[in-house]
């Protein structure tokens, strides 16, 4: 079974940071409410059916309360190549698991990409490679056979499972007017025997959050309950100003946030919202 530990990923990141940032806080140091940096968290890589690979990436906002907006540019860039590789510009407090992925070609080989982040004056650089030790299986847990929850933006729409793979839907909205967000969620119901006492009902938990965008996004309920009858879950989002936004929809089954660090079995999906004045 291929696996990785995100704790190890952060430890690896910390080891890289020491020579680069003398005042960088290491992952095991006590956190603070605000004023600290954001560390990229390399979850690992996985194989695609066409022979290409996907790099799975999250982050660790060391602040307990401070959310940060870091636009694409000098302080939030991936290199070499296009500095915008779909990474977030809005960082919630604490840990974000597998929030985006980057597809690289089959001949990527020993090349690497680097994510440069600077928050609260603390610059951090983390590389992503295809080293064998970082291979993960986010779509099926080999030990239990568990798979990620399935998300649909319409009752009979296309299904999305596992790591984010671009924008799954595009919606329209008007600034300062609530915009309904409906989703249909389901799960295979496979229960890890070691987590049986923590079984959840319904078996999927959802979480909406801002991922990108120029203004504030306010959700009526950012964790809407999934209907036991048809799997639907509805909330609203209100956007403070016009522009292009991306929302992140996270779905967890019994394995919990980040799959308990095993990179399976959770789902993240990105929804674009174009907000008019």
The CATH number of whichever domain residue 195 belongs to comes to 2.60.40.10
Per-residue model confidence (pLDDT) at position 35: 95
- Is 143 inside a domain boundary? no
Last residue of a domain, one of 134, 165, 194: 134
Same-domain pairing of 47 and 115 = yes
Pair (53, 83) in one structural domain: yes
Do the domain assignments include residue 142?
Answer: no
- Rounded CA-CA distance 220/237 in Å is 6
Instruction: Check whether residue 154 and residue 253 sit in a common domain.
Output: yes
Domain final residue pick, 80, 104, 134 = 134
Q: Is the domain of 24 the same as that of 119?
A: yes
Structural domains in the chain (count): 2
What is the rounded CA–CA span in Å between residue 125 and residue 113?
Answer: 10
- How far is CA 240 from each of CA 93, 181, 214, 221, 248, rounded to the nearest angstrom? 21, 16, 9, 16, 17
pLDDT score for 256: 87
Domain boundaries, position 75: 6-134
What's the pLDDT at 210? 98
169 within domain boundaries: yes
Is residue 140 a part of any domain in this protein?
Answer: no
Same domain, yes or no: 167 and 98: no
pLDDT of residue 18: 35
Evaluate whether residue 15 is within a structural domain: yes
**pLDDT tens, residue by residue, 245-267:** 999 999 999 888 888 778 899 99
Does one domain contain both 124 and 155?
no
How much is the pLDDT for 36?
A: 95
Residues 111, 179: one domain?
Answer: no
Residue 253 within a domain: yes
pLDDT at site 29: 59
Q: Is 144 part of a structural domain of the chain?
A: no
Do 37 and 123 share a domain, yes or no? yes
Task: Check whether residue 116 and residue 167 sit in a common domain.
Answer: no
E strands present in the chain: 38-47, 53-61, 68-69, 76-79, 90-91, 94-104, 113-119, 122-128, 150-152, 160-161, 167-174, 179-186, 205-212, 217-219, 232-239, 243-252, 266-276
For residue 197, the model assigns a pLDDT of 65
Three-state SS across 30-81? Answer: CCECCCCCEEEEEEEEEECCCCCEEEEEEEEECECCCCEECCCECCEEEECC
Query: What residues does 39 pair with on adjacent strands?
Result: 60
| 10 and 130 both lie in a single domain | yes
Q: Are residues 66 and 169 in the same domain?
A: no
Domain boundary among 134, 168, 186: 134
61 within domain boundaries: yes
If the chain, 277 residues long, is cut into consecutive pieces of 10 residues, what is the mean pLDDT of each piece? 43 38 48 92 96 97 96 98 97 96 98 98 97 94 90 94 95 98 94 69 93 98 96 98 98 88 91 98
Q: Are residues 161 and 269 in the same domain?
A: yes
Query: Tell me, what's the pLDDT at 262?
Result: 81
How confident is the model at residue 200, as a pLDDT? Answer: 75
């Amino acid at each position: 079974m291929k696996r990785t530990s995100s704790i190890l990923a952060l430890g690896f990141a910390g080891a890289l940071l020491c020579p680069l940032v003398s005042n960088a806080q290491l992952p095991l140091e006590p956190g603070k409410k605000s004023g600290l940096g954001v560390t990229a968290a390399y979850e690992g890589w996985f194989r695609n059916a066409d022979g290409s690979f996907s790099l799975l990436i999250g982050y660790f906002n060391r602040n307990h309360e401070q959310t940060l907006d870091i636009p694409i540019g000098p302080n939030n860039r991936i290199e070499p190549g296009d500095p915008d590789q779909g990474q977030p510009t809005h960082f919630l407090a604490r840990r974000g698991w597998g929030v985006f992925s980057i597809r690289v070609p089959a001949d990527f080989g020993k090349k690497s990409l680097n994510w440069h982040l600077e928050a609260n004056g603390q610059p951090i650089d983390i590389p992503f490679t295809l080293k064998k030790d970082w291979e993960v299986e986010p779509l099926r847990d080999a030990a239990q056979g568990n798979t990620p929850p399935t998300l649909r933006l319409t009752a009979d729409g296309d299904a999305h499972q596992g790591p984010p793979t671009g924008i799954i839907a595009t919606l329209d909205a008007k600034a300062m007017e609530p915009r309904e967000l409906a989703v249909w969620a389901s799960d295979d119901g496979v229960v890890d025997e070691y987590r049986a006492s923590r079984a959840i009902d319904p078996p999927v938990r959802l979480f909406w959050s801002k991922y990108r965008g120029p203004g504030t996004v306010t959700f009526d309920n950012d964790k809407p309950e999934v209907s036991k009858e048809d799997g639907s879950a509805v909330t609203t989002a209100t956007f403070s100003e016009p522009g292009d936004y991306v929302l992140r929809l996270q779905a967890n089954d019994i394995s919990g946030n980040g799959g308990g660090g095993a990179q399976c079995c959770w789902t993240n999906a990105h929804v674009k919202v174009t907000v008019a004045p």
